[in-house]
Amino acid sequence: MEYLPLGRTTTQIPKIGFGAWQYRGGAGVLRRAHELGAAFVDTAEAYGSEAQVARDIGDLRDEYFIATKVSPANLAYDDVLSHADASLERLETDRIDLYQVHHPNPDIPIPETMRAMRQLVSDGRVRFVGVSNYSVDDMKESQDALGDVPLVANQVRYSVAARQIEDAILPYCQEHGITVIGFSPLVKGDFGDPALERLDEVAAEVGKTPAQVLLNWVIDRPGVMAIPKTDRVERVDEAVGAVGWSLTPDQRRRLTGD
């Protein structure tokens, strides 16, 4: 496995972790990820998978990096605190490694939400604060409100077929030391997307599977990790096989049509 720093902290996270949306994989998936050095799992209160994640990790808790999210309806100060406690209970742990705002809520001021996040960090219930689906302006306001608590990550959609973050979000994150956690890096399995017409060709050239090529394309960007989702142990091995090599600039261009 290859690792990258979480934001500007000294904590290292794997370039490949695993998402738990619609996760039903059982213990084998997350335990195999741990064996391969990919002990990073991302869930959310909205996913309904926090308890399953806790069961599957079991006695590996201290060796796992657990990320979860608070839903946009629950971003008022008291709600953030109470929903963090509920996630802690479902996750059967005393701390959340990365607590993220799932989506911004224009009806609840960002400073109010981040005041709660500061409190959670202060009392040890949360180690690091992140966001998801946040714009550059949202991230700026969040960091201003957090003060000396760093905003370490923004989880956003990123793949060969979904590159909107490259206009502003990705450059801002790279400049300010905010890790990008790319979700749906496999284009939700729709390898027939027109943007991927050269995928099989490139995969054959590098001797990798199409999924490995798609993941490598994402994680080869500085400060970016990917969180594919799987319920199958063999897919864990396949995903981890996306690290340790790189596409050529020409291959990257051919995949995107640039």
Q: What are phi and psi of 131, to 5 degrees?
A: -135, 175
CA distance linking residue 4 with residue 6, whole number of Å: 6
Answer whether 196's CB lies under 8 Å from 241's CB. no
Averaged over 119-125, what is the pLDDT? 98
> 243: how many CB neighbours lie within 10 A of its CB?
22
CA gyration radius for the chain?
A: 18
DSSP H or E stretch at residue 132:
strand 126-132
Res 198: pLDDT: 86
Q: Which of 243, 186, 236 is nearest to 25 (CA)?
A: 236
Q: What is the pLDDT of residues 188-199, one digit of tens each?
A: 655 566 667 789
Q: What is the mean pLDDT of the chain?
A: 95
pLDDT of 93 > 80? The answer is: yes
For residues 134-142, average pLDDT: 98
Confidence at 124, pLDDT banded by 50, 70, 90: very high
**What is the model's pLDDT at position 6?**
98
Amino acid at 57: I
Give the strand pairing for 12-14 and 18-19.
Answer: unpaired
Mean pLDDT of 5-25: 95
Looking at residue 219, its pLDDT comes to 98
Burial 121-151 (b: 16+ CB within 10 A, else e): beeebbbbbbbbbbebebbebbbebbeebbb
The pLDDT of residue 239 is 98
**H or E, element range at 70:** strand 65-70
Residues with Cβ < 8 Å from 19, sequence gap 6 or more? 41, 42, 43, 183, 227, 228, 229
Please tell me the least confidently modeled range out of 26-35, 71-80, 236-245. Answer: 26-35
What pLDDT score does 187 carry? Answer: 81
pLDDT for residue 216: 98
Confidence of residue 257 (pLDDT cuts 50, 70, 90): confident
Q: Give the mean model confidence (pLDDT) for residues 124-146.
A: 98
Residue type, 43: T
Amino acid at position 168, single letter: A
Could you report the per-residue pLDDT of 187-235, keeping only the tens digit for each? 865 556 666 778 999 999 999 999 999 999 999 999 999 999 999 999 9
- Reading the block at residue 183, the tokens are 């979700």
